[in-house]
Structure formats: C-alpha cells, structure tokens
Amino acid sequence: MRFFVSALVSFLALANNVFAKSGTGDSVLVVIDPSLKKEDYSKFFGGLEERGYQLTFRGPRDAHPPVEQYGIPGFSHVILFTPETKSYASDITPQSLVGLLSENTNLLVTLSTKQTPLSSLSAEFSLIPPPPGTPLISHHPARSEPATVIPIPVSESPLLTPGTSPVWFSGVPHAFGNSPYLVPILRATSESFAADSLDDSGADALVDASEKAGEGLWAGSHLGLVTGFQTLKNSRVVFAGGVEMFSDEYANKALPDGTPSGNEKFVKDITAWAFRETLALRIDNTTHHRAGEEVPPETYTTNDQIVYTAHISAYDPKTSSWKPYSGITDMQLEFTMLDPHIRIALPPVAGEPGKYQVQFRAPDRHGVFKFVVDWRRKGYPLLQTSTTVPVVPPRHDQYPRFLSAAWPYYAGAISTSVGFFLFSALWLAGDVEGKKKKGLKTE
Amino acid sequence: MVPRIALHFTWLLLAVCVHAGSLLLQNPRFTITSSTAAQLRADTLSLTEKPEPLKLEPSDTLKLTFQITEKSEGKGVQPHQTFLRFYDSVSGEEGIQPVRVTPGGKAKFELNMARPPASLPPTTDHPLEVSLILGSFVHEPTTFDLFDLYVPSSYTPVPHPDEAKFHKLPLIHHTFRPEQKLPPKFVSAIFAALVLSPWLVLLGLWSKIGVRVPHLFSPRIIPFTVLLGAFEALLCWYWVDLKLGQVLLYGGILAIPTIFAGKTALAATGEWRTGKN
C-alpha cells in the first residue's frame, strides 16, 4: 500500500513535467502594472491558460511571489506587462532577469515611450531604444484611428503562421545592433516613423531632429517592433514595443478594410516561440564507430573509415512530446584538433526520421580530435555537441605487408632457410671416405 | 455580408469628405550637376511614368524641387511627413530622408555624393527606387514613385564575430599523403630471379657430379631431419601469422624432442665414422 502511494505521488510530481505544454514547463509569472487591468487582456491570458499554462499574477512592487529565490527560478516563464514602471521590488532587476535567462527561464518584455530599466535591458540585447517620448506614428494607410495606432502587415517568418492578417500596434520602435542572435519578428512599415509631434506644424522639428541626431531619422522598415533573442543557453526573450498589442481591444478591432485583425493569432505565435513550444530542437544522442562495426573503439587509427550518427528531435506542442525531426538540411560535422581538419555535411538519413549520419576517412595526423556539431540559425536553438576521441598512428603490424617490392628479400631469406635445412640433412645423410687413406699408409 | 461592406465603405467616404482633401505634387524637377558645377542632366518628373534611371558619380550632386498643394483649394501646404524613401528591392535595404518643406509647400532636396546623408542605405550596383511619402494629420496620405537612382557602392558594415556560424561554412577536405608508390612488379620479379639464380648453378653442378646420400632415410637420422623441417615450417608460419609469444611457445615445445633426436643423429654419424674404420 505504501509503495503504491509513494509511486502515485512521484508519478504526479513527474506528470507535471510530462504533460506540460512547453518543453520547459508551464508555470508563468505575469508581472502586471497596477494601472493595467487584467480583464483588458482576458483573451491573451485566457488563450495561455487554454494551452495549459498556469498563470500567477503580481504587481511590480510586490515582493511575493519572487521571480527567483536563492538563485533558483520560481517559474518557467515570466511575462513583464510593466511598460512604464520605473521602480520594482528588489527581486526584479536587469541583472536578475539576465540571471533568469541563464537558468533557462523565458521572458516576454514590453516597452514604452518612457525610459525604464527594461529599455536599458533591451540595449544589452543589441537593440537600440529610440529617444524617450517618441512613439511610432504613421499616416499610412488612411484610417479613423489616431496616427499612433498603426496596422502593420505581418511578413513571412518561420515563427509565425503564414497568412496572418495585419496586426494593430501602438508603442515604440527599436533599431537593431548587428548581433546574429536577434530574431526580428515584426518590423515597422516603410511609411512609419518615431516622432513626438501631434500636428502638422511638427514637420520642421522632424527635419531638425534628423539632421542633429547624426544617425538619421527613426523611420522606415529597418526599425523593429517585436524582436526575439535566442541566448546561448537556448532560453528566449521577446521584446515587444508596446503592451496594447496584447489587449482585447486590439484583438477585436477591425482593420481599415473591414477584415478582423491578426492580433490574437500573432500574439499566440510569439508566445509559443518565446516559451519554446515551436522551433524547439535538441540533440538526443550521438554515436561514432568504424565502418562495419557497431561499438565505438577505444582509439581510432589514422586513415580509418569513421561513421558518425546524431539523433535530433523537435518538440511537438500538440502531443507535448519530443518527436524525431529530419528537417535540418544544412548541418555540418567538424573533426577538429585545435582547428577543423575536416568539415563535411551531416545529412539526414532517408527512411529513418531524426537520424543524421555521415562516413569519412580519419586524417593522416594522429592526436586528440573532437567530433563537433555546432548548428546555429536565426530563430532556432543552438545545437552543439562535442565528443573527444584519440587517433593513434598504426601499430608496427598494421602497415601493409607482402609488398611486391620485397620479393627479392623474401626470395633471399627463404633461400637461406631452405639451404640450411638441405645442408644439415645432406651432411647427416652423407657418406664418409677419409679413413681408407690412413689404412693404406700403415701397411 | 454585402450590407456590412457597404456600411464600411460609406463610413470611409464620410471620412474622406471630412478630411480636407488629398495632396498634389506640383512641378517636380531634378537636376544633376557635377563637382565643377556643370549641369549633367535636368528634367521634369512625370508622375505617370518613371524617367530613365538617374546615375550619380562619387562627386555629383542631385537637386530635387517640388511643391505640395491641396487638391481642393490649390494652395501650398506643409504636411507633417515629407519623406524620400530610397529602397533597394534586391537586398531589401531602405533609407528614409525627411525633406524640409516651407509653410508655402515649396520643397528642395539636395543629395551630394561627396557628403552623403546618414539615411542613405548601404548600396550595391543595383538601383535604388526613390519614392516620396506624404503624410498629414489633416490630409489623406499619399505616396508618389519618382525615379530609379544608381549611386556608387558603399562599404559593407563589419559583421558580428558570430555571424559566420549562422550560415553554412565552407567544407574542408583533408589532403592525405599520397599512397606509397611501388616499383613495377616486373622489375621486382627480375631481381627475385637474380637472387634465386645460385640455386640453378648448384642444382646444375649437383646433377653433373651426383649426390650420394645413403643414410638419408635411416631411422636414427630421419626424426632430427623432420623436426628441423618442422622448425623451418614454424618460422614460416611466424612470418605469415603468428605473434612472438606464440612462436616462442611452440618453438620451446618443439625444441625438446629435437634435442633428443639431434643427440641420436650425431651419435649415429659418429659411430659410422669410427665404425667404418
């Protein structure tokens, strides 16, 4: 009976992880500014709860529940709906948020025209925030909403559902640094720009600002509005330029041409990416052995034919499980000793889902080599693995033998052996004649 | 469904009527002058058809003038947003440059390639599509396509150190040492035959004088001869297959009867030498 009870308890404890919606857990902390009402975002939060996440709400100045305690994060994901908060409780600082990312917690951060600790945090992620007080405005397309509420067409991206309708946006843009770990999700339209003027007389101020700032005007499609960042620990952050994008009002608002907006679907897609439901890959295991064998040997010899295999799976949010994934076509394997000696493609094996295999010849050099797979692509997690193997030169008896150039030497040595044997046999078998002469002399 | 769309359209029409009307572009003209102030090209832009693509050398200057007026009343206005958009459709790079407009709607823009503005996007040898974006809080927004522009290529910005890892890296093939080259087999065969030639001489001479071996199959000699042959066979087997430990073991086992057989054989030959006497 006690065994069953303890088994049930441990099953339930583990089931929390097994039946989680995301590969990393489903507890979400939502830090929401007291000026924002939870009910205004009911569609967004309701959608998250429907997908299996457990939400906990608190204000920025509440001390409880803390985002992390004694270095251990309390939640798998954190949403910061605090675009204008300038002071937080002591557990939320830019350093603690970066620490959360190192501990595999994902973040969703919203920004606004005010300078907050979160906008200086975004600068650490290779995003350049605009001058304070300059929201994004656009006069195109003609619409009845004010110029600060803009419908933005959603471009193609592996993160987003194809065919998502334009989304309503209100907030600030940001410019990109050159980090390749940034994943631009939503970019501003060509006709939009960041400005603080409210009527046509601000035109001169716009031109003056662009001439003064030295970096040009904050305008055009090189500005980002919603951007993700993939960290080296494979946790993800999404920086959104405004919090109204998540609200019910924008989800229900119709676009200028009458069709419904894509806000609900867009917001669902970006949280699915941020919380590692979609585009989540991992390496299950790697093996290596000589061609023709199955078990890895202790050491390889130079010029051996080596076969390297990797198994990769992707997280399937519909079944909450990791399924084999053969969709990576450009993975490469490096056989490295200080520098890569060999770099070849690691293609998927047709007919065996999730298996990637390649065969190659070990280099002439002996030494300690590593099998290195380091695959990084925008929006995808980093797939990295490294296996160390020794490669030794051939033993004294592993060199080629019985070469045609040695025939004269074989002939000589064999002649010597045969000659010795023949001589002993003939000497033992032969006749002796010397004694007759002596006999003749004495007579 | 149909009545709903009609409702939206009527609402839009109402909005248009409420707005003070749309904006018009009057007298758009451009001039390209070289660094020596010689005029290279000047023309009026037609808004229905793009002119021949404009080309700028590294020291040329492009001057663009136009006036923005309201459609309904015809007087000049200063809209909130008067931007020139430079767009490279092949690389996707875009640059936005605001144009200063007087309250009377007159605008002048100068692009000096010797000191290009920061808003000019990185360029290659593809043309930039130049268009004018007009936006206003009180007028309808419009965009005008102006012309295509070729400018000198710009330097590429320095990439992030990790940028290369996000793409396929070039393949590396190891250059192996070439296979050992052996001399032709024919040459080796000739020299092997040379090495074996003394046997021919020996066998030839023996056939001439005759070999007398009366005791060859004597029962006191033959064990030693056979065991000696076995030793030679063991040596040959070692050359082909065996390891040192094995050959020493087998050799040690063979050595014991060989000692006794050898003593017998030598005793026998000794007896024959003294016995015949």
* Token pair recorded at residue B134: 């007009």
Is residue A110, in this structure, part of any structural domain at all?
yes
Q: Is the pLDDT of residue B277 over 70?
A: no
pLDDT, tens only, A232-245 = 999 999 999 999 99
Residues of B in contact with A222 (CB under 8 A): 93-94, 121
One domain, residues A201 and A338 = no
One domain, residues A104 and A88 = yes
pLDDT, tens only, B235-270 = 999 999 889 999 999 999 999 999 999 999 999 888
Chain B residue at shortest CA distance from A232? B162
* Token pair recorded at residue A11: 């099953």
CA B6 to chain CA centroid, nearest Å: 57
CA distance linking residue A11 with residue A62, whole number of Å: 34
One domain, residues A326 and A211 = no
Assess B258–A contact: CB distance below 8 Å, yes or no.
Answer: no
Q: Report domain extents, chain B.
A: 11-154, 183-212, 214-277
Give the pLDDT score at A16.
47
One domain, residues A290 and A141 = no
Is B224's CB within 8 Å of A428's CB? yes
* Token pair recorded at residue A301: 């010899």
Task: Report the 10 Å Cβ neighbour count for A35.
Answer: 10
Is residue A438, in this structure, part of any structural domain at all?
no
Is residue A218, in this structure, part of any structural domain at all?
yes
Residues spanned by the domain of A405:
400-431
**Cα Rg, chain B, nearest whole Å:** 52
The residue that leads in pLDDT, A434 or A151, is A151
Assess A212–B contact: CB distance below 8 Å, yes or no.
Answer: no
A-proximal residues of B, 155-174, CB under 8 Å: 157-160, 162-163, 165-166, 168-174
One domain, residues A61 and A193 = yes
Mean pLDDT of B151-177: 89
pLDDT, tens only, A355-373 = 999 999 999 999 999 999 9
Task: Report the 10 Å Cβ neighbour count for A253.
Answer: 15
Task: Report the 10 Å Cβ neighbour count for A277.
Answer: 23
One domain, residues A365 and A228 = no
Instruction: State the CATH number of the domain containing residue A65.
Output: 3.40.50
Helix (H) or strand (E) holding A251: helix A248-252
Assess B208–A contact: CB distance below 8 Å, yes or no.
Answer: no
Q: Is the pLDDT of residue A198 over 80?
A: no
Q: Which of B137, B156, B277 to mutate to test the interface with A (most CBs of A within 10 A)?
A: B137
**Which of A224, A249, A274 corresponds to the end of one domain?**
A274
- By the 10 Å C-beta count (0-12 exposed, 13-18 middle, 19+ buried), A90 is classed as exposed
Task: Report the 10 Å Cβ neighbour count for B153.
Answer: 11
One domain, residues A308 and A215 = no
One domain, residues A261 and A357 = no
User: Torsion over CA of A338, A344, A348 and A354, rounded to 10 degrees?
Assistant: 0
Eight-class DSSP state of B61: E
**Cα Rg, chain A, nearest whole Å:** 36
If one counts the domains in chain A, the total is 3
One domain, residues A215 and A286 = no
In A208-268 the beta strands, taken as DSSP E runs, fall at 223-230, 236-240
One domain, residues A206 and A246 = yes
**Which of A212, A242, A274 corresponds to the end of one domain?**
A274
- By the 10 Å C-beta count (0-12 exposed, 13-18 middle, 19+ buried), A5 is classed as exposed
User: Top-level CATH class of B11-154?
Assistant: mainly beta
Instruction: State the CATH number of the domain containing residue A335.
Output: 2.60.40.1930
Eight-class DSSP state of B155: P
Is A191's CB within 8 Å of B135's CB? yes
Q: Is the pLDDT of residue B57 over 80?
A: yes
One domain, residues A102 and A122 = yes
Among the partner residues A200, A342, A432, nearest to B276 by beta-carbon distance: A432
In A264-409 the beta strands, taken as DSSP E runs, fall at 281-290, 300-301, 305-316, 321-324, 332-337, 339-345, 355-361, 367-375, 383-392
Eight-class DSSP state of A370: E
Tell me how many residue pairs between chain A and chain B have CB atoms under 8 A apart: 208
**Which of A241, A274, A307 corresponds to the end of one domain?**
A274
Cβ atoms of B85 and A190 closer than 8 Å: yes
Band of residue A17 on the pLDDT scale cut at 50, 70, 90: very low
Is residue A441, in this structure, part of any structural domain at all?
no
pLDDT, tens only, A97-114 = 999 999 999 999 999 999
CA distance linking residue B231 with residue B250, whole number of Å: 9
Using DSSP's 3-state secondary structure scheme, residue A351 falls into coil
One domain, residues A119 and A57 = yes
In A6-71 the beta strands, taken as DSSP E runs, fall at 27-32, 54-58, 68-69
Is residue A439, in this structure, part of any structural domain at all?
no
Chain A residue at shortest CA distance from B233? A417
Q: Is the pLDDT of residue B20 over 70?
A: no
Is residue A421, in this structure, part of any structural domain at all?
yes
pLDDT, tens only, B78-87 = 888 888 899 9
Lowest mean pLDDT among A7-21, A283-297, A383-397, B120-134: A7-21
Is residue A136, in this structure, part of any structural domain at all?
yes
